[in-house]
Amino acid sequence: GEDELPVAVAAGTTSPFDWSPDGRVILYGLGFGRGRDIWGVTVQGERRMFPVLATPFNETSAQFSPDGQWIAYQSDESGSVEIYVQRYPVGRKVRISTDGGIQVRWRRDGREMFYIAPDNRLVAVPIRLDASRESIDVGRPVPLFTTQLAGEPRDSSGRHYMVSPDGQRFLLDTLTEVALPLTVILNWNPGS
C-alpha cells in the first residue's frame, strides 16, 4: 500500500544479485562492459550505497553465505571467469573453481557451493568454515551432471538454476528439444 521507492540510483547498468540473510543489504552489479563491480545498498533507514568489490576486472553474480559472513561471486581477474569466495564486508578471497565457473550458489547450511563449469556441468564443492569464520577450507570440485540451460547461461547476471536447502535437488531453466509436426497441403485452393 505504500509508494514504490528506488533502492539504488546509480549511473551505469545495475542488476540485483542477493539480499543479506538479515535483510539489511542488497548486493548488486554496477558498471559498463569492462570493470563491472559488486556494490551493496542498505535498505533499512537511510539508503547508503557502497562498493563491496571494485577492481579493474569484472565481478558479478554475488551471493551471501547463509550466515552473511561471506560472499561468493565470479570474476575474470585470472583471465577466465572463475568462482571466488571472500569474507564480507572485507577480507581475504579464495578461488573456488579450478577451470572456470559461473552462477555460484550456496547450500543453505553453508557447507557446499555449486556452480556451472565451462562444459555446462553442475559442480559441487565442499566448503568448511572454521569456528571463528576467519578462514575457509575448500574441498575438491565434484561434477554432478551436465545441464542444458536455457537462454544465455554465460550471462553474468542470469539465474538459471536454484538449489534446494539440503543441496540434493535442483530447479533448472532448461532447453527441451520438441519436434513440432509439419503439415504440407498440396494443391490447396482457398475458394473451394
pLDDT value at residue 108? 93
User: Of 4-8, 133-137, 186-190, which gets the smallest average pLDDT?
Assistant: 4-8
d(CA 147, CA 159): 14
Q: What is the pLDDT of residue 8?
A: 58
Return the pLDDT at 158. 66
Place of cell 553474480: 61
**What pLDDT does residue 109 have?**
92
What is the pTM (predicted TM-score) of this model? 0.82
Q: Say how far apart CA 144 and CA 79 lie, in whole Å.
A: 25
What CA–CA distance (Å, rounded) separates 29 from 143? 28
pLDDT tens digits for range 85-140: 999 988 888 999 989 999 999 999 999 999 999 999 999 999 997 756 678 899 99
Digit-coded pLDDT (tens) for 61-75: 999 999 999 999 999
